[in-house]
Amino acid sequence: MKFRIQVVRVADDGAMRITVLQQQVKTLKDEQPKIGEEVARELESTKHFLWHGNTFQALQRLEGLLIDLEFPEVPSPLTQKVVKGIGELETYIRNNEEFIPNFGERYRNGETVSTAFVESTVNQVISKRMVKKQQMQWTARGAHLLLQTRTKVINNDLEATFRQWYPRFRSAA
């Protein structure tokens, strides 16, 4: 099951990785303007494809960049650093493909694009309960179960899941 909180984390992590790469590319533009401009354009395109949930095209762009950057006659340390970052981003996207939503479509449909406020609340509750000074302390397993339950409530899946576990369950409504 795809959880929104996991989706948000994946999207935030991916955006953060692209932001770091874009900063490195700014420096690359100073060192090698032509290559830097091309990499910046391709990264912006990749970001657009990811926003629209098109991981296939995003991965194609990154693969093309890797091929172009890995085989210069004399690779500079900065170019090697950018290549490493692009490779890590590509691996990250491949490993999390199923969790990357189409934010453009969600935005157009008036759906929630971010559940950061929910994630923040859950993090506050969990961190407060995991502090040893509290009367009642949660285990890591208990905190994980709370996150699963909260996610099912957000996704409106709690009743269906409960019915799956307890087929004779009757809701109050």
> pLDDT by residue (tens digit) across 74-114?
678 888 899 999 999 999 999 988 888 888 888 888 877 66
**CB contact at 8 A, 147 and 125:** no
CA atoms within 13 A on the CB side of 37: 2
**Cβ neighbour number for residue 100 with a 10 Å cutoff:** 20
Q: 10 and 90 share a domain? A: yes
Question: Dihedral sign, CA of 29, 31, 35, 39?
Answer: negative
| For residues 101-130, average pLDDT | 73
pLDDT tens digit string along 41-61?
999 999 999 888 899 999 999
Q: 102 and 31 share a domain? A: yes
Count the domains in the chain.
Answer: 2
Q: 87 and 150 share a domain? A: no
16 pLDDT exceeds 60? yes
Q: 82 and 139 share a domain? A: no
Higher pLDDT, 45 or 137: 45
Q: 119 and 100 share a domain? A: no
Which pTM value belongs to this model?
A: 0.61
Q: 137 and 89 share a domain? A: no
Q: What is the DSSP letter of 155?
A: T
CA atoms within 13 A on the CB side of 126: 17
Query: Torsion angle of alpha carbons 110, 112, 113, 114, nearest 10°?
Result: 160
SS3 content of the chain, % helix, strand, coil (to 5): 75, 0, 25
Q: 100 and 120 share a domain? A: no
Q: 26 and 81 share a domain? A: yes
User: Is residue 170 domain-resident?
Assistant: no
Q: 94 and 11 share a domain? A: yes
User: Is residue 59 domain-resident?
Assistant: yes
User: Is residue 172 domain-resident?
Assistant: no
Q: 121 and 97 share a domain? A: no
pLDDT tens digit string along 27-42?
988 988 898 899 999 9
Q: 50 and 131 share a domain? A: no
Q: CA triplet 26, 67, 100: central angle to 5 degrees?
A: 70
In terms of residue numbers, what domain contains 87? 4-106
Helices (H), 71-157: 77-96, 103-108, 116-130, 140-154
Q: 94 and 127 share a domain? A: no
**CB contact at 8 A, 11 and 58:** no
